[in-house]
Structure 1
Amino acid sequence: MTEGLITLALILVKLGMVFFVLLSGAAYLVLIERKLLGRMQLRYGPNRAGPGGMFQPLADAIKLITKEDLIPAQADKVIFFVAPGLATLTALLAFAVVPFAPPMTVFGREVPLVVCDLNIGVLYFLGLSSLAVYGVALGGWASNSKYALLGGIRSLAQLLSYELAMGLSLVPVVLMARSFSLTDIVLAQQNLPFAVLNPLAFLIFLISVAAESKRIPFDLPEAENELVAGFHTEYSGMRFGLFFVGEYINMMILGAMVTVFFLGGWQGPWLPPILWFLLKVLAVAFLFIWMRATLPRLRYDQLMHFGWKVLIPLSLVNVLITGAVLLAMQN
């Protein structure tokens, strides 16, 4: 009984730490993005609220909480209420299987630094990434707006298309690590990260992750020159804030997955493991921000053409080549 209570307490403590880091990290990732985009575009970012603009996330949160929460008269109110929370919740739950450091010893007890070390962590991540589309699609449909509906339909088609390529790009990772556990995948990269051993899978996964996070050049569900604001056009106040925060939490989650699957996770010389993990996640986030400042938005037909006719065939060929090489090495 005591052993079970200790295990439960450890899980709750790790959950609380993960939620705090993710929510505060998402808030300050917004500030970092606005600062970096300002510098890349030769202008100032936020610099008024607090020293160097450090209180800008707090000011934004107060603004969103105090804004009037409008609901369209003809909206499906139940789904309209639920959709933003669903989009954020799926992003938060995905971090439950991410190992951010090796196990540490606390009071003579070895504690794994992962909320839940599932032996099918890859399948859990893919399953939650499939569920993430529902929040966006239902939010667009429940708003009873043509622009929001078009944004939701675009998002549904885009996420389903690029999820196939993303899943296929992870097959070589599972083959090389011989495990679905994210901890085992990190440990399998002790000598070389999988980004070096299989650069094509890394590139396909990185592009698919950018499309899954709906970042430029893949932000077709929110194309403001066509759809006003896309699937969240009719949302205001904190419900819009949930969509907004969910997007940045999702960017951190996907950055963590790139780190775990291809960049060796927490492994690296000299620095503490958890610091290596954070630096790699921030490097992926910086790449996404850099892409936003540099690349133009694709047309929708180009987006779908690239996913179905380029990425998916490439990922299938890569699975066959990786399997053949690993089989030849065994023999």
Structure 2
Amino acid sequence: MEAVIVLLKIVFILSFQFGLLPLFIWLERKGSAYIQDRRGPNRAAILGFTIGGIFHTIADGIKMFVKEDIMPQQANKALFALAPVLVVIPSLLTFAIVPFGDVLTIGERVINLQVASLNVGILYIFAISSLGVYGIVLAGWASNNKYSLLGGLRSSAQMISYEITLGLAIIGILMIYQALDLQQIVRQQNQLLFGFIPLWGVVLQPLGFILFIVAGFAEVNRTPFDLPEGESEIVAGYHTEYSSLKFAMFYMGEYINMVVMSAVITTLFFGGWQIPFLYRDGFHIFSLSLPLHPILVTLLQVGAFAVKVMFFCWFFVWTRWTLPRVRYDQLMKLGWKLLLPLALANIFITGIIIILVK
């Protein structure tokens, strides 16, 4: 029975990730169109219905499957084929320790709404997500193309630089909540300041949140930090030589990374599945109480988590089509000369405040 429950949770998580994938590809195309004052995709139709252009995403997916898969003659064929897989798989595995709800009680069985409950969940995220750079570097090297190689080298330098800031940005959260398990961190965010302000991570660590989300843009190679695929400089970077399904896997990996990063931001800084005033037995607002069925509470928690994740996915899209791409030297200077010192200062200040409060 336990294996069946774990399997169902895995199916739910994969369905959530792959379900959001076409939605956010469509959202990116329509969102960028409206930001640029144009219509965006609105022509493809089935039986006369366009549904806002959603069929363009379906058509693009079919096109990727049926296009010719071209491989450069001088490429390293094994590594060329392996690289897209190494980009997608770490993205999918990272979500395994992200809690999407509290617990679901069915009879005497208590189900933790988290695929894998690890005491070192934060370390797992950084360990698995950092493997994605291997796929990008291998794609650049195996293509036997100087532009692809430059894109892969850019990505490796960028990820190494911003992984440091990304890790240091959450040290303050770990110091406050005294836990590495993401579920424990979320549960500790149900406290209220002055009786009505939720003590989410962003309230206690505003600087840490800003540093984390800026470094997150660099980690998922999104504008203004999409230098590894800067088409105005290096054609398309590390995936210049890729086509058909292999290119689709790189494309898919980017969007899954965006969903995962949004989920981690939600979990660490915005209460995860927490809803202010909602507890396991219902809503409690000051002296008022509204009892709710445990299953309804669980549905509200999972829904709140999904809405928060979708908001940050939209934030990634919004930012991409608002800010211009920075130069590579500006990217590195920002990481090493500004974000890193601020992250260290945030840890120092957090430690002082914790000592004074105790």
Unaligned ranges ≥5, structure 1? 1-5
CA distance in 2, matches of 1:52, 1:205: 34
Alpha-carbon displacement from aligned partner over 1:83-113 (angstroms, at most 9, x marks no partner): 1011000000000000011111234311111
One-letter amino acid of the structure 2 residue matched with residue 200 of structure 1: L
- 2:333 equivalent in structure 1: 305
CA distance in 1, matches of 2:108, 2:7: 19
Return the offset for 1:200: 0.4
- 1:128 equivalent in structure 2: 128
One-letter amino acid of the structure 2 residue matched with residue 40 of structure 1: I
Alpha-carbon displacement from aligned partner over 1:30-72 (angstroms, at most 9, x marks no partner): 0011111111111112122342222222211110000000011
Q: Which of 219, 231, 234 pairs up with 2:238? A: 231
CA RMSD of aligned residues (A): 1.2
One-letter amino acid of the structure 2 residue matched with residue 147 of structure 1: Y
Return the offset for 1:174: 0.7
CA distance in 2, matches of 1:56, 1:107: 45
CA distance in 2, matches of 1:233, 1:261: 35
Question: What SS is found at the alignment partner of 2:190?
Answer: coil
CA distance in 2, matches of 1:108, 1:35: 47
One-letter amino acid of the structure 2 residue matched with residue 296 of structure 1: P
Unaligned ranges ≥5, structure 2? 45-49, 192-198, 279-296
TM-score (norm 1): 0.96
Within 5 Å, which residues of 2 pair with 1:142-291? 142-191=142-191, 192-269=199-276, 272-291=300-319
CA distance in 2, matches of 1:67, 1:106: 48
CA distance in 1, matches of 2:87, 2:80: 12
Q: Which of 42, 46, 70 pairs up with 1:47? A: 42
Q: Provide the identity percentage.
A: 45
Aligned length: 325
CA distance in 2, matches of 1:290, 1:187: 30
Question: What SS is found at the alignment partner of 1:46?
Answer: coil
One-letter amino acid of the structure 2 residue matched with residue 299 of structure 1: R
One-letter amino acid of the structure 1 residue matched with residue 217 of structure 2: A
Query: Does the CA contact (< 8 Å) of 1:30 and 1:57 recur in 2?
Result: yes
CA distance in 1, matches of 2:107, 2:189: 29
- 1:70 equivalent in structure 2: 70
Question: What SS is found at the alignment partner of 2:255?
Answer: helix
One-letter amino acid of the structure 2 residue matched with residue 82 of structure 1: L
The question of 1:296 aligning with 2:324 is answered yes
- 1:327 equivalent in structure 2: 355
TM-score (norm 2): 0.89
Return the offset for 1:328: 2.2
One-letter amino acid of the structure 1 residue matched with residue 329 of structure 2: D
Structure (1 or 2) with the greater helix fraction: 1
Query: Does the CA contact (< 8 Å) of 1:251 and 1:285 recur in 2?
Result: yes
Query: Does the CA contact (< 8 Å) of 1:26 and 1:249 recur in 2?
Result: yes
CA distance in 2, matches of 1:307, 1:51: 42
Return the offset for 1:327: 2.1
CA distance in 2, matches of 1:48, 1:186: 44
Residues 107 and 59 of structure 1: is their aligned pair in 2 closer, same or farther, counting only changes over 3 Å?
farther
